[in-house]
Amino acid sequence: MAKTQSFQIEGMDCAEEATILRRELGPLVGGADQLSFDVLNGLMNVPDAIVTKVGVASIVAAVAKTGMKATPIAEGKPLEAEDVDRHRRRIMLLVSISGAMTLIGFVTQGISAANFMDVFRETNRSMDAVPISAKAFYSAAILAGVWTFLPKAWAAIRRFRPDMNLLMVVAVAGAVYLGDWLEAAMVAFLFTLSLALESWSVGRARRAVAALMNLTPPKVRVISGQETKEVLAAEVTVGTKFVVRPGDRIPLDGRVITGTSEVDQSPLTGESVPVPKTVGEEVFAGTVNGSTALEVESTKLADQTTVANIIRMVGEAQSKRAPSEQWVDTFARYYTPIVMLTAPAIFIVGGAITGDYTSWLYRGLVLLVIACPCALVISTPVSIVAALAGATRRGILIKGGPYVEAPAHLRAIAFDKTGTLTAGRPEVTAVVPFQDHDERALLERAVALESQSSHPLAKAVMDYAKQKGVVGQAAAEVKAVPGKGATGIYDGREFWIGSHRYLEERGQETPDVHEQITKLSGEGRSVVVIGNADHVCGFLVLADTVRPAAAKTLAELREVGIQHLIMLSGDNQPTADAIARQVGVDEVHAELLPADKVSAMEKLVQRYEKVAMIGDGINDAPVLGRATVGIAMGGIGSDAAIETADIALMGDDLSQLPWLIRHSRQALAIIRQNIYFSLGIKAVFVVLTILGHASLWAAIAADTGASLLVLFNGLRLLRD
């Protein structure tokens, strides 16, 4: 991945600003696709090569043309929450000043008029009707309010792209011209309040992610000789040994070199049960050590850990616009200029018909205010951000708005077998002794012959024997028979261990043994036979066991409306069929090469249109890319899984799939509710405006109220 230079963008509170920056900086950096954005943290990332070519100053100047401000972030400098929230705190300060000045101006004007209700009467629409003292307070309120959006309005004029900031400036200026100082101040205050609410909602979503991800300790207890010393995590190199005390959070990704403990991985995966960790196993930054100290060797730098990758991708996901966002963006692009033309048309036509140009100018200004697409524009991005953050808290990494909505439309889901529907590792499921041997004696011989082997089946045999408390001595003169098995001397006699084919080659197979092994193989099981020169001692049955939650998960998927469940496997047909029967898959495609899986997925997409593929994110990369939605199992610890898929189940937990689909449908429902509500409010007020029954302050209050409602509605998606 190419290195990038980060710029903190002051004034970027939603994906709308990211779109403006792409449009403005695209020609400068060689295309909008060269830019990536972390809206939650207010960051824009530009490849180092482009920054070197065009210069930091040129990028900062280009951002300034949009009314925003760019500050380069020094390499390795952490982005503090104080820095991120500075702009949002300033907006809240200006909102407070504007609101207070508006209230004081209203009280001052009311006292002067001796009747507070007179302040709202149309007869007060003159420069002389408002006392100088009240005008001073109203002016301060207007100045504090427009200060937040005036730069963007000016940038919109310079770009010849009218936006909601420009609409509000025109409305405020028009109200002042008409002598409606109170309403001008109210428009400035309430619009700034709506911007503050939007900023707050994005900040809340950011804090929801930060609360989950900002778990990595800033310092590491590095082992130095016989002592430990604390150093900054950012300074620790790969291969450094460090200590994690009981109950401490693990500061870096690494491999356990001493100790056995249980680690709480729930911050990354959502798992409720701590995971046992022993020598040689991976641990991850941000997880919590159990009751035993661990010595760990770091395997990644602080900015390359699994947590760091998740934070980066969650941030970048904000700038990948969902279909609903794209529709709203397109709508607002045409809607705003039309409103800018409609308002003066109403003023001219209405004034010409009635002769009362002042009244129709006021109605035109009201139309500008109520037509402001603020609530509409923020309704979808906030919902998407909240949905992304809510899923991340659940241990599901969704890599952009399009993949928030996509699961809601799925008609079919295809599963890889190994590592997805099954555990991906063989386990001993039965021990079948012959002759006078018992289970323990058979396992002792198996352990003696397999103790030096690295084969997955050998490891499964050793693990099973350990569970049963069987510890055998290693056989002497062990010789591997490539692709078949091994021989060795145990207890003074030669024994062998191997596959069904090896048994057949030795000529020791009986009809009864052949029948048993053939039946087991047809059920998708592997058989390891043990014998000596005289007879077959017995055999072990191994199988890649079905995940405990697989059958229940597939049943729940049917309940939520996914009726087509398919398996795409490279394994043999009997094994695939056996697993399919256990979990409830209704369509099986087996013995597929990677290219065959892609072809099968293309046919499924033609048949069902919206199809997800669930795989391990590494071997299944081509088919994950071809599916409507690619979902990787076990994103934790697998950079390839995170990079390849559209969605990663960090906890390697299939049972999250039904929740993901329900979450996607809820997000889509909330987005539609927000859009319909925002447009409905505007339609009502447009009619009231034309009839002369709407005022500036009521229009902006309604728009702010609508903004507030859609914000809180969208933030419901933060909940698990």
Residues with a known catalytic role: 416
E strand spans, 282-325: 282-283, 288-289, 294-298
H/E run at residue 6: strand 4-10
Read off the tokens for 129: 């009707």
Q: Is the dihedral of CA 304, 309, 311, 315 positive or negative?
A: positive
Are 497 and 484 within 8 A, CB to CB? no
Residue by residue, DSSP assigns 256-291 as EEE--EEEE-HHHH--SSPEEE-TT-EE-TT-EE-S
- Retrieve residue 340's tokens: 């800018």
- Please report where in the chains the tokens 């129709």 appear, as a residue: 360
- Cα separation, 439 vs 445, in Å, equals 10
**528 DSSP β-pair partners:** 540
Q: Are 590 and 581 in contact (CB under 8 A)?
A: no
Contact 406, 628 (CB under 8 A): yes
DSSP E strand boundaries for 446-586: 476-481, 485-490, 493-498, 526-532, 536-546, 564-568
Contact 169, 156 (CB under 8 A): no
Instruction: Specify whether the CB–CB gap between 616 and 569 falls below 8 A.
Output: no
Say if residues 460 and 423 touch (Cβ distance below 8 Å).
Answer: no
Please state, in angstroms and rounded to a whole number, the distance separating the CA atoms of residues 679 and 671.
12
Q: What is the DSSP-derived secondary structure letter of residue 413?
A: E
Q: Measuring CA to CA, which residue among 615, 574, 609 is closest to residue 594?
A: 615
Q: Is 102 exposed, middle or buried (0-12, 13-18, 19+ CB in 10 A)?
A: buried
Q: Where are the beta strands (DSSP E) in 288-411?
A: 288-289, 294-298, 396-398
**In contact, 414 and 613? CB cutoff 8 Å:** yes
Angle made by CA atoms 170, 172, 178, in degrees to the nearest 5: 100
**Could you tell me which residues come within 8 angstroms of residue 440 by beta carbon, excluding any fewer than 6 positions away?**
468, 470
For 196, which DSSP code? H
With contact defined as beta carbons under 8 Å apart, do 497 and 465 qualify?
no
Count of Cβ atoms closer than 10 Å to residue 22 Cβ: 19
Closest CA to 613 of 652, 646, 575: 646
Three-class DSSP category at 565: strand
Strand partners, 230: 221
What one-character-per-residue DSSP string does 593-655 give? -HHHHHHHHHHHHHHHSSEEEEE-SSTTHHHHHHSSEEEEE--TT-HHHHHH-SEEETT--TT
The secondary structure of residue 235, as a DSSP letter, is G
Give, rounded to a whole angstrom, the gap between the first and last alpha carbons of the chain.
32
C-alpha span between 55 and 64 (Å, rounded): 15
Neighbours of 291 (CB within 10 A): 9
| CA 343 to the chain's CA centroid | 41
Return the residue matching tokens 């700038």. Answer: 319
Q: Buried b / exposed e across 147-169, counting CB within 10 Å, b at 16+?
A: bbbbbbbebbeeeeebbbbbbbb
Contact 196, 710 (CB under 8 A): no
Write out the two tokens for 25.
């900086």
